[in-house]
Amino acid sequence: MAGSNQSLSHSLRRIMNNDADDEPPTRPSPSHQPSPAPRTPSPAGSASSTSTVNSEREDEFFRTVHGRRLNSMNMSYMLPADKSEIERLELEHRMIKFVLGGKNYIGPVAEVLAPRNGERRVLDCGTGSGLWAIEMADEFEGVQVIGADLAPLQPREVPPNCTFELFDLDGQRLPYPDDWFDVVHARSVYMGIRQYQRFLHEIARVLRPGGVIILAEVDSAPMVEGKRPILPGPRGGAPGWHMFWDTYRRALTSRDIDITIPTRLRTCLRECAAFENIVAKEALIPIGFWPRDNLTLTIGQLAWMSHDNFLLALRPMFRSSGLSEAMVKKIIEDAQHDLYEPPVRLSCCWHILHAQKAARPRK
Ligand SMILES: C[S@@+](CC[C@H](N)C(=O)[O-])C[C@H]1O[C@@H](n2cnc3c(N)ncnc32)[C@H](O)[C@@H]1O
């Protein structure tokens, strides 16, 4: 048993790296006085509970684009909002949980959510399948967990301390008072946030001093083991894979999404001037069946399955970017070829950060 624990932590150390100039984590500041008035549910258009969503109202929340169901609230977010996408999100959720050693968070979350006078609250931005919010609500029973999203993809049966709300996080004031949440989590959402810096400012506003922000985004640059970039063309070793990611990056850029966000999260947090104790980690995740040890292999398999699904999920965005049906088919098939018969050890890099809201704005 001790042996397997040792190899588990060894594998995790190999996957998760601290950035070179990390600031050391410190203990959170003492708890704040809860002050804001209770939040009134916002009207449709800014926020509404999924409890009001039923099958007759499907058309209000979804539209069909090139054969897949998408959200109808934000036209630039073009990943599907359907069963297959939920399955992909569940795979990715499990994968990240393995990477985080079986946990849903990094940073002083447990300390910040420890019982005290007053309500404790967590916000999951772009909650997707809602799994993260549900598991957090299960783990922290006395804490109110809210998952916000563009689409009602989340299950109806949820823990009593978990709710879901629908609103657009991009370019808007979040519908919560200042200093309202103890923890805010935003994982894999930058593809739907054109004004990412404004989004961070809003998170800083609704987070209480000492509260924890957790960000996680995957790099869109194709790479192989050891974080080496895949170069274009046959000499790069995976031309189909490279072309797919190149097309993805172009499509996001044409929708005014800043594709450099995942690699610049630390800078974005610093520029916000509201956070301290910023800790940035990189998780180098294998995609496929090439890792040797069991844990990394499990992560690689989950990443492989998630990517297998992701290749098809991009069809609506690629088609809407003006690419012909034949062209999109070829791009996806060539990428599938490199995924199914990998000529190189495909990998990806997740950037995972946590920080705390400073008591006063930082200079
Ligand atoms: C790739 S999924 C990630 C889901 C979840 N965070 C996870 O890691 O499993 C991105 C989710 O963010 C949501 N999203 C993207 N842009 C958004 C926006 N501007 N406002 C609200 N939700 C958004 C999408 O609808 C989708 O469910």
The ligand 1 atom nearest the CA atom of 168: 20
* C-beta separation of 124 from 149 below 8 A: no
State yes or no: pLDDT of 41 exceeds 50: no
Q: Which two tokens stand for residue 170?
A: 């991009």
- Please state the atom number of ligand 1 nearest to the C-alpha of residue 126: 12
| Span 290-313, pLDDT tens digits | 999 999 999 999 999 999 999 999
Mutate to test the pocket of ligand 1, among 99, 149, 169 (most ligand atoms within 8 A of CB): 149
The CA distance from 118 to 130, in Å, is 25
- Given a cut of 80, whether residue 275 has pLDDT beyond it is yes
Q: Is the pLDDT of residue 10 over 60?
A: no
Q: What is the mean predicted confidence (pLDDT) over 95-120?
A: 97
Phi, psi of 186 (to 5 degrees): -140, 100
Res. 43: pLDDT tops 50: no
Distance from C-alpha of 70 to C-alpha of 73, rounded to nearest angstrom: 9
Q: Which of 174, 133, 130, 169 is nearest to 152 (CA)?
A: 130
For position 237, what pLDDT does the model report? 85
If you search the block for the tokens 């009207």, which residue do you land on?
43
Question: For 12-29, b where at least 16 C-beta lie within 10 A, e where not — what string?
Answer: beebbeeeeeeeeeeebb
pLDDT(31) > 80: no
Q: Among 78, 105, 129, 150, say which to mutate for ligand 1: greatest number of ligand atoms within 8 Å of CB.
A: 150
Q: Is the pLDDT of residue 242 over 80?
A: yes
Nearest to 23 by CA among 266, 333, 245: 266
- End-to-end CA separation in angstroms for the chain: 49
User: Rounded to the nearest whole angstrom, what is the distance from the C-alpha of residue 164 to the centroid of ligand 1?
Assistant: 13
CATH code for the part of the protein at 39-357 = 3.40.50.150
Which residue has the least CA distance to atom 17 on ligand 1? 192
Instruction: Kindly tell me the burial class for residue 178, based on how many C-beta atoms sit within 10 Å of its own C-beta (0-12, 13-18, 19 or more).
Output: exposed
Distance 120 CA to ligand 1 centre (A): 23
Tokens 């990611």 identify what position?
A: 245
What is the Å distance from ligand 1's center to 272 Cα?
A: 22
The reported pTM is: 0.89
Strand ranges inside 236-329, DSSP E: 275-286
pLDDT above 70 as % of the chain: 85
Q: Give me ligand 1 centre to Cα 2, in Å.
A: 38
Write the residue with the smallest CA distance to atom 23 of ligand 1: 126
Residues with CB under 6 A from ligand 1: 71, 74, 77, 79, 81, 89, 92-93, 126-129, 132, 148-151, 153, 168-170, 187-189, 192-193
Which pLDDT value is given to residue 55? 53
